[in-house]
Amino acid sequence: MDSSLTVSALGKGSLMVLIAQALQSIRGIVLLPFITRLLSAGDYGLWVQAGTLTSLLGPIATLYLGNAILRFFAAEGEPRKVARTLIGVFVTVAALSILVALTVTLVSGPLAAAFFEGQRAILLLAMVSLVPECLGSICLAYFRTFRQMGRFSFFSVARPYVELVTLIVLLLTGHTLIQLIIAMAIVRAALTRVMMVIILRETGWATPDFSPLPQYLRFSVPLMPTNLMLWVTNASDRFVIGYYLGVAAVGFYNPGYALGSVVAFISAPIMYVLPAFAYAHFDQGRTRLAAEYLSRALLIVVVTGLLMTAVLGGLSLPVLSLLATSEFAQRGYLVTPFVALGATAQICTIVVSIALGCVKKTHLMAYSALAGACLNLGLNVIFIPRYGIVAAAVTTLVAMLVDLGIRLALAKRHISLSVSWWRIARAALAAAILGAGLFALSPSGVAPLLVVLVTSPAIYLALLLGFRVVSMHDLADGRESVRRVIRMR
């Protein structure tokens, strides 16, 4: 078996991208005090709206061809053999992203009036970063496919931190929101160019080959409605909030959402490392091993996500008070625990989606995503005008749980996934006890918060042992696995 497909290689790659994703999550927290204090709530809301729109259009413009590269090249060991096809994908994505940007430009007037308080320039400038954003996603998919997790981790961290430094400097020197958006487009274009140079040096330049595209699109295009529905579940609440309550309410919603979304950093190994391993093992006949990887990943995600939900939810008010203003904290702290739980559910959904990808049943994902999106959008329209921004977080959680349930039922028809429901229930009880205790304690100040953050995992682990979610034997096995990963050269 290829040494790059061993458990140790999986662990090493997972560790690298986990660190990279953690750094990305911290980046958002570091930026929060600057952007909430140096921009008005309205400008902050416009900033969030621009990023949300780009996150919608980027995947549409790529037709999810990055996923196709990952699926069809995962068992290929020589990058030069895929040069012509890869360049064909680059050309296709560049043309599509330009087309999407031009289309948005044509309808920018009504869009700006509805969601950007008439500031059309913000909307148009957000489109400038669309082409480098799309090409950059294909570059990152290439690094994942050939298990170049060092490069993937580096560039995953480089962009947000170059952006972070740029933003802080511009904010402190009094630059406008428009100048911030222009600077972000320049940073993304520069880093995408570097990634493309590295890839083309490795693969060599070749005449684009578009002949495999129909096969790739049959795999990737069904992901488009699926992921569009996921976007509706994840991000449409900002537009609904902006439409009914104004962009300032979006600004108050986002800090609590950003804090809860820190849970998403544990998705890094699931999204960026596990698929290539699972697909390669499945294609090479080791189907039971692929299913075992996925089942273990599901349990690890739930147990870890519940810990982070308890800590972030229980401490959301003091943490937000420290990072942002008291007004942002009071208005948004209840958003955090629901978002954290929703993020955990969504990471579990990614694991299940990998299982469907193994059997090339990506079209089945659309059913669950459609159900979740329709439910989320409908509940948002009903409850946000009445109950405000907290309702948006609650309805998103409900929609994500529905999506996960349907997708899991569909996946079990095609691949053997083992779900330890009793362990999950007991882990949830342990997390609820920890979260309630932290909320009652509500420490204030940096030092008390740090003490609580350091001790919380130990308390949670003791609860897991007491409720027999894990055993000392499990801990010993985990410690030995970590040692093997650390010793790898």
* Residues in CB range of 403: below 8 A, 6 or more apart: 230, 233, 345, 346, 349, 368, 369, 371, 372
Mean per-residue pLDDT over the chain, rounded = 83
Please indicate whether residue 268 or residue 142 has the higher confidence score (pLDDT).
142
- Alpha-carbon distance 460 to 402, whole Å? 27
- Alpha-carbon distance 100 to 96, whole Å? 6
H-state helical runs in 4-119:
7-38, 41-62, 65-73, 83-106, 108-115
Sorted by where each begins, the domain ranges of the chain are 39-221, 236-489
Q: How far is CA 70 from CA 84, 220, 381, in A?
A: 16, 10, 37
φ and ψ of 413, to 5 deg:
-75, -20
Q: Which of 126-130, 423-427, 475-479 has the lowest mean pLDDT?
A: 475-479
pLDDT exceeds cutoff 70 at 50: yes
CA 58, distance to chain mean position in Å, is: 14
pTM of the model: 0.68
The whole-number pLDDT of residue 338 equals 95
Q: What is the DSSP letter of 206?
A: -
* Residues in CB range of 58: below 8 A, 6 or more apart: 97, 130, 133, 134, 137
Q: Which of 64-73, 159-168, 203-212, 224-233 has the lowest mean pLDDT?
A: 224-233
The whole-number pLDDT of residue 486 equals 46
Residues in the chain, how many?
Answer: 489
In terms of average pLDDT, the best of 73-87, 241-255, 447-461 is 447-461
Please indicate whether residue 224 or residue 141 has the higher confidence score (pLDDT).
141
pLDDT exceeds cutoff 70 at 3: no
Q: What is the DSSP letter of 246?
A: -
Q: What is the DSSP letter of 440?
A: H
- Alpha-carbon distance 399 to 377, whole Å? 9
134: tokens are: 């799309």
**Residue 108's pLDDT band (cuts 50, 70, 90):** confident
How do residues 220-274 score in pLDDT, each as one tens digit? Answer: 777 776 667 666 666 678 778 888 888 788 888 888 888 898 888 788 778 767 7
108: tokens are: 């920018």
The whole-number pLDDT of residue 480 equals 64
* Residues in CB range of 364: below 8 A, 6 or more apart: 356, 407, 410, 411
Write the burial class of residue 105 (CB in 10 Å: 0-12 exposed, 13-18 middle, 19+ buried): middle
CA 283, distance to chain mean position in Å, is: 26
